[in-house]
Structure 1
């Protein structure tokens, strides 16, 4: 089959990555959608460095490679890809990453937001019977919260209070009170929000 015939069968194609870039035989990852197929595929193929008609450097695809459905590629990558541990708060890494790796996505999210609650209580010295939104609203009350950053304009203090209580209620409570269909990526997105909030809590100065 000629190159023109192959290209006629392709709806779209985009390169998504490359291994050994600049080498003589780089391996390129491409997302390909064929007109006859309802799903996209990932093509992993070795290229060979050569030269064009005018002596310019060109990389030619070889027959060494394989192609499989994108959903299978995502399944493998989600399971084995390295997570950015240097970006995520160490408490989140300790409490949540093993749950993520074992597929316990709801539990990972709950533990992430539980860390927000326990860290806030410990830092403010709040009693054990103060928890959830009530605890966060007291700690970050825009007017007299013990952890409120009064250097910020009042509108931003209100915005942060809405951010932390909204994320806590929406992500933590939903996972606690009903079954949520989460996958690795959606769970990690929620955990990243918890990590951001946890860093803000730890950075907050105590108002005396």
Structure 2
């Protein structure tokens, strides 16, 4: 079995990792065992042995590492990647089909990312050009590309020229009185609200990334991309037949 230290050399890095990230590395270590060992993982033995790996010679086991590994083990069990052995006591585990399918920390990370941004939520344009960037953890670029796709879609659907960009473009396309993408059968307040939604989204989420580096976390990027997808679908519905 590959030691965890081969993947994460420093004990403080193990103790400080997010549980889900460490869980991927623990899964990779467990899956590196040979076929005969793969169905007889022991939680207590693994956590104690890993604590010893990081302890200085002659010093007690690294308790922080052991606790972090125990938490990661619990995460793997709770999320269905490992399960208690049906014929052994509660300390013995084996991989589930889901655990067998993923095997290493990179595959687990991609799986988690996929779950955070489900395919069914996304407009086809974002599925093709934005979701891969999200998978690569390029969250700022993914958000920028999502709202650039929205801007391009608005321009095309409204048949407007390249002299209008960003907020002015969305304002013209969804102007409550004569916007080419405005539903004149809707109540005026709703027309104004939709224009404000389009301009606010582009102004808030596309424009800052155009002018400076913006730090965006995964969950925040996911919400922004899903909003862009929703707005793209509105634009599609307003395209002239």
SS in 1 for 2:121: coil
Q: Please give the per-residue CA displacement for 1:1-40, whole angstroms capped at 9, x wherever unaligned.
A: xxxxxxxxxxxxxxxxxxxxxxxxxxxxxxxxxxxx8xx9
Match of 1:201 in 2: 235
Q: Please give the per-residue CA displacement for 1:41-72, whole angstroms capped at 9, x wherever unaligned.
A: 451443588xxxxxxxxxxx821359xxxxxx
* Residue 173 (str. 1) matches residue 217 (str. 2): no
* Residue 80 (str. 1) matches residue 111 (str. 2): yes
SS in 2 for 1:118: helix
Name segments (4+ residues, structure 1) moved above 2 Å. 44-49, 75-83
Unaligned 5+ segments in structure 2 are 1-66, 78-82, 95-105
SS in 1 for 2:179: coil
Report the Cα offset of residue 76 of structure 1. Answer: 7.7
Q: Distance in 2 between matches of 1:195 and 1:100?
A: 14
Report the Cα offset of residue 171 of structure 1. Answer: 0.8
Q: Which has the higher helix share?
A: 2
Match of 2:139 in 1: 105
Q: Distance in 2 between matches of 1:150 and 1:77?
A: 48
Shift of the 175–138 alpha-carbon distance from structure 1 to 2, 3 Å rule, reads: same
Give the TM-score normalised by the residue count of structure 2. Answer: 0.56
Report the Cα offset of residue 151 of structure 1. Answer: 2.2
Report the Cα offset of residue 161 of structure 1. Answer: 1.0
Q: Distance in 2 between matches of 1:80 and 1:105?
A: 16
SS in 2 for 1:62: coil
Give the TM-score normalised by the residue count of structure 1. Answer: 0.64
Q: Residues 78 and 184 of structure 1 are in contact (CA less than 8 Å); yes or no, is this contact kept in structure 2?
A: no
Q: Residues 149 and 205 of structure 1 are in contact (CA less than 8 Å); yes or no, is this contact kept in structure 2?
A: no
Q: Please give the per-residue CA displacement for 1:178-207, whole angstroms capped at 9, x wherever unaligned.
A: 222213222121111110000000101549
Match of 2:62 in 1: none
Unaligned 5+ segments in structure 1 are 1-36, 50-60, 67-74
Q: Distance in 1 between matches of 2:107 and 2:207?
A: 30
Q: Which has the higher strand share?
A: 1
* Residue 63 (str. 1) matches residue 91 (str. 2): yes
